[in-house]
Amino acid sequence: MASVLLGSFSLASSLTAGSFVTKASWYKTQKIQNEYLIVRHQQQHNLKHDYRYIEVASTSKERGRCYSMNAGSGESFEYEHQDPSPKSLLASTKDSLYTFIRFIRPMPTIGITINIISASLLAVENLSDISPTFFIGLLKAIAVFLPMQIYNVSVNSLADFEIDKINKPYLPMASGEYSRRTVIIIVASSLILSLGLGWIVGSLPLLWVISSYFIFSSAYSINIICVTLSHTSTCKLPLLRWKRSSVLTIINYIVKFIMLNLGLFLHMQTYVFKRPTMYPKSLVMAIVFVSIFAVVISLFKDLPDIEGDEKFGIRTLAVRLGPKWVFWFCISLLEMAYGAAILFVGATSSSIWSKLITGLGHAFLASILWYHAKFVDVKSKTETLFFYKFIWKLYMAESFIIPFVR
């Protein structure tokens, strides 16, 4: 009996050599061996019976192996090996969703969503306005506009495919995770979805916003390709591919940001609340601030992309004047905007809580902006890209402050 036990433990050790055995598999092995001893003691006959020893490997490459062991001879034979199981449906869905989120640029998309909420809150005059009617109108606005934002991002990725291979090789299309056909499908479906939902909702301000957003987004990114029998050439039409010009890029961003805030406010004011058109102080401040952020974002987004823009002849201000000048111009512009908000908006407000939130909020944002800006290496693509995302976070924070301006 002792020799059998020693042989059993020796064989088990040889089978698990080179692999990590979990506590669960060790306890299972002990249970099998104990049950075997009990049966042998009850039967009291010679050791001529086979039993099975099961080892569950803990590595991801081996899901399990089954071994047949003859207790008398001490020999073992591997009779089954299971290949790694295919990726589950849940894991595949998570991977696909993660890729799609990276494709639509989560930071700008989240920032625009928060801006939609902020612009909608500008139409709220008292707490009774925060009702199911308000939330239904807000959900309609988000459902109509977000597909247009996806169109904006995807059509830009399609047009900048070659440039993104240099500037943003980690993006799904540039890295090969998404094919050109896939992106074309996303472009077409998001455009049809946005315009279709806008038509179904029937809000004229929303239709105005998404239509103008479609026109300006297309003019900014798209270029006309003329195909002839002999060659393919690029038609540089004056009303397309605005990103070639820094001035047109700034105008594009300013107009889109203003239309978004004005259109969403009018959607809530006239379509949801059925009130006459008016332009409160908070809306004026929102338009001023989004215009400043539009200039900053349109200039700042070019800082990490200087290499690819130079190669493809896109003469942005960052290419012409250098990243350091553009960086500190943007910082100075935002700091002046925060200072003006503290002096002229917060100080002139008739509400105490509005003064506190507006004044302290902008002072805090101005401080953290200056603190972080001092440590940025403007020649580093990684640091400027990170700071560009930080600018979007400031934009989100501003969207939370503006509705409190009264």
Identify the pLDDT of residue 343. 83
**Structure tokens that stand for 150 in this block:** 């996806």
- 148 and 268 both lie in a single domain: yes
**Structure tokens that stand for 256 in this block:** 């889109």
Which residue among 240, 274, 308 closes a domain? Answer: 274
When pLDDT is averaged across residues 83-92 and rounded to a whole number, the result is 70
- 76 and 155 both lie in a single domain: no
Which residue carries 């939130």 as its tokens?
357
Residue (of 338, 315, 342, 341) closest to 326 by Cα position = 315
- Domain span holding position 64: 2-81
Helix (H) or strand (E) run with residue 80 in it: strand 76-81
CA dihedral defined by 60, 62, 64, 65, rounded to 10 degrees?
Answer: -160
Which residue among 249, 274, 299 closes a domain? Answer: 274
Identify the pLDDT of residue 273. 93
Digit-coded pLDDT (tens) for 160-170 = 888 888 878 88
In a domain, 237, yes or no: yes
Q: With b meaning 16 or more CB within 10 Å and e meaning fewer, what string describes 31-64?
A: ebeeebeeebeeeeeeeeeeeebebebeeeeeee
Using CA atoms, how far apart are residues 177 and 384, in angstroms rounded to an integer? 25
Residue (of 331, 311, 336, 333) closest to 378 by Cα position = 331
- 258 and 151 both lie in a single domain: yes
Residue (of 318, 271, 7) closest to 140 by Cα position = 271
Share of residues in the chain with pLDDT > 70 (%): 73
In a domain, 337, yes or no: no
Choose the weakest-confidence range: 1-15, 139-153, 195-209, 297-311. Answer: 1-15
pLDDT above 80 (res 134) = yes
More confident residue, 234 or 406: 406
Q: What is the DSSP letter of 239?
A: T
How many structural domains comprise the chain? Answer: 2
In a domain, 215, yes or no: yes
- 186 and 40 both lie in a single domain: no
In a domain, 149, yes or no: yes
pLDDT above 50 (res 371) = yes
- 27 and 65 both lie in a single domain: yes
Residue by residue, what is the 3-state secondary structure of 160-194?
Answer: CHHHHHHHCCCCHHHHCCCCHHHHHHHHHHHHHHH
In CATH, what number is assigned to the domain containing residue 186?
Answer: 1.10.357.140
| 65-70 vs 50-55, strand pairing mode | antiparallel
Identify the pLDDT of residue 163. 81
- 70 and 164 both lie in a single domain: no
The count of C-alpha atoms lying within 13 angstroms of the C-alpha of 226, restricted to the half-sphere facing its C-beta, is: 7
Identify the pLDDT of residue 7. 42
Identify the pLDDT of residue 81. 45
pLDDT above 60 (res 129) = yes
Identify the pLDDT of residue 39. 44
Q: From residue 87, how far is each of 63, 155, 344 by CA, in Å?
A: 13, 31, 59
- 238 and 112 both lie in a single domain: yes
In a domain, 7, yes or no: yes
pLDDT band at 347 (very low <50, low <70, confident <90, very high): low
